[in-house]
Amino acid sequence: MGFFGKLESKSYIIGILKGLTITGTHFVKNLVGLGDRPTIQYPEQRRKYSDKFMGVHVLTKKHDGEIACTACMLCATNCPAECIHIVAAQSPNPKVEKYPAIYEIDLLRCVFCGFCEDACPVDAVRMGRDYEMAELSERNFVVGIEYLKDRPQLQGKNISVFHEPDKIVKRGEKSASAPAGSKFAKAS
């Protein structure tokens, strides 16, 4: 070990100088706009997130605007944070048996793991893409059906795949996708 090596290991000054050089270089680079900047001018500038990003949940809808959820509580069962609260009831719509009278997610407890989405048998709950959450009170982070299905950010795109008209065969109707005469078509 030479003289400088000894000095380096003995004194912290050189370490500090090295660190400052790195900080300083970045400072100057960013100041004059050389190279890539790791920071962006949020909120004017936004990053593009992956399509797999898991943000605030979405409750999907059927074509008549009703939510697709059947209140089976599988999402609540699967949720590790126990933050989904559902109260099931008899639906006012005579064609539907069970529906959630209350469906609430406590977004502050949620860990955005997506287990609820995995558990749902009817594609009724999905992880959305929005991640910007700011509220004045904790209570406002407990979001209900109205917010989860109809918030403006969704632009009405949350139709459950189980309820797209050409994918589901309703009772007493011919399947739209099965060719006539096929054994999949309902014999009437």
Partner 1 sequence: MAKITINGKELTVADGTNLVDAAEEHGIDIPHYCYHPGLSIAGQCRMCYVEQEGNPKLQVACNMKCSDGLKVTTDSARVKDAVKWSLEFHLVNHPIDCPICDQAGECGLQDYYMKHGQYQSEMHEDKVHKEKVVDLGDNVVLDKERCILCSRCVRFTAEVSKTNEFGIFNRGDRSVIGTVDDKPLTGNYTVNTVDICPVGALTSKDFRFEQRVWFLDSAESVCNGCSKGCNVFIHHKKGRHIYRLKPRFNETVNSYWMCDKGRYTYKDSNYDRRLTHAKLLGVDLPHDEAISMWAADLNVFTSTERMDEIGVYLTPNQTNEELSALLELFVNKFKITKFFAEDVEGLVKADSAVDNFLLRSDPYPNSKGFLETLKKFGVKLGSLSDMAQSIEKQRLMHLIFVVPEGQRQITQLTGVAEAIRPDHFVVVLTPNRFAQELFASSLSIPTLSHFEKTGTVVNHGGLAQKISSNFKMFKEAFSIESVMKQLADAQSSGRKKERTGS
Positions in the binding site for partner 1 (CB under 8 A) = 70-74, 77, 88-90, 97-98, 121-122, 171, 183-184, 186-187
Q: Would you say 110 or 154 has its CB closer to ligand SF4?
A: 110
* Binding flag, residue 148, ligand SF4 (CB under 6 A): no
* Binding flag, residue 159, ligand SF4 (CB under 6 A): no
Half-sphere exposure of 35 (CA within 13 A, CB side): 8
**Cα 74 to the center of its chain, rounded Å:** 18
Least distance CB 56 / partner 1 (angstroms): 24
Binding characters for ligand SF4, 117-146, by CB under 6 A (x = yes): --xx-x-xx---------------------
Q: From partner 1, ligand SF4, none, which one binds at residue 79 (CB under 5 to 8 Å depending on kind)?
A: ligand SF4
Beta strands at 57-59 and 84-90: parallel, antiparallel or unpaired: unpaired
Q: Using CA atoms, how far apart are residues 186 and 178, in angstroms rounded to an integer?
A: 9
Q: Using CA atoms, how far apart are residues 68 and 163, in angstroms rounded to an integer?
A: 8
For the chain, how long is the longest CA-to-CA vector?
97
Q: From ligand SF4, partner 1, none, which one binds at residue 97 (CB under 5 to 8 Å depending on kind)?
A: partner 1
H/E run at residue 106: strand 98-106
* Binding flag, residue 72, ligand SF4 (CB under 6 A): yes
Torsion, CA 8, CA 11, CA 17, CA 18, rounded to 10: 40
Which residues in this chain contact ligand SF4 in the complex, by CB under 6 A? Answer: 69-75, 78-81, 83-84, 86, 105, 110-116, 119-120, 122, 124-125
